[in-house]
Structure formats: structure tokens, C-alpha cells
Structure 1
Amino acid sequence: MRTISAALIGAGAVLPLLAHAALPDPTDAGASVPAVTVQSAFDGYKSWQDGETPGWQQLNRAVAPGQGKTGTKHIQQAGSQREGKSGHEHGGESK
């Protein structure tokens, strides 16, 4: 047991000397520093836009009501109007 303890203490005493010998002094301005190469996160990036996209005016025209393409049609149902007034009155009590 004493031999193992002595070996561990000896290794613990020598270890800081070995660590400092391998690394340059951090206070030395002339110390050489290994070059760092970092791969860019954008290497191999491909844009999601493959081709021409329509402008906002063209998109608005495509969804505008009255174009007859894909818009919804408003159909008046029988009995939906009473006495010439619509069922969507504002500012009054419902009848």
C-alpha cells in the first residue's frame, strides 16, 4: 500500500511539470500558436428558391374575389333577409 501511495504522490508531483513543458507560456507574446481551421456552417448551402417566384401583386390578383378562379361564392339563402335588411346589423338589438 505504501508503494502505491508513494507512486501516486510522485506522479502527482511530476505531472504539473510535464503539463507546463508541453504548453507555451501564456504571458509570452512571441509564443507560437497552432493554426485553427474551422469549417464554415454555410459550406454546401443551397438556396431554397429554385426558380422564379411570383411577386406579391401577382399573388394578390390570383386570390382576389371576382376573378372566378378559386374564390368562394357568396350565395344568398332564402329567408336570410327580413324587411329588406341584412342579418348583420351593427349598433342595435337583434330582432
Structure 2
Amino acid sequence: MRTISAALFSAAAALPLLAHAATVADPTDAGASVPVASVPSAFDGYRSYQDRQAPSWQQLNRAVTPSRGTAGMGHAQQPGETSNGTRAHEHGGETR
């Protein structure tokens, strides 16, 4: 425990010496040299949304229309029923 305390006290005593070792230019001196700061732009690699051609409304409508397989089915018609309302496939010999 004494060695840890001694190490901490010596580090605390050496800290002000390390802080003064770094020389800082006087902020009021206009002729002081200043390190160059290179900061990348926030807009590097930015591409506008308007860069490409937008599809026409006809192309968009064709993209969302249902496929031909479901085009013949009416709204009230259930899958597996024929157009006259009877079931196209019965299971286990069941009748309607």
C-alpha cells in the first residue's frame, strides 16, 4: 500500500512539470506560428438526389400492378373457387 501511495504522490508532484514542458504560443502574438488544421468537408462524397433521371408515372404504375396470375380473381371470389362459386378441389370426398 505504501508503494502505491508513493507512486501516486510522485506522479502528482511531476504533473505540473509536465504541464509546463509544453510550450504554448502567446495568443496575443500575431506573428506566432500556428499548426495547420486539416478538416475534411462534411459534403465530401455528397450526391444530390436530382443526379439521376426519375421514372415516369407509367413506369411506376407498371411496377406495382399485380401479376397476371391474380388478375382474373374477383374481389369476393376465394382462392380455389371457380367463377360460378363452386370449389375446384374438394378434400376427402366431401361435398358441398
TM-score by length of 2: 0.41
**Structure ranking higher in helix proportion:** 2
TM-score by length of 1: 0.41
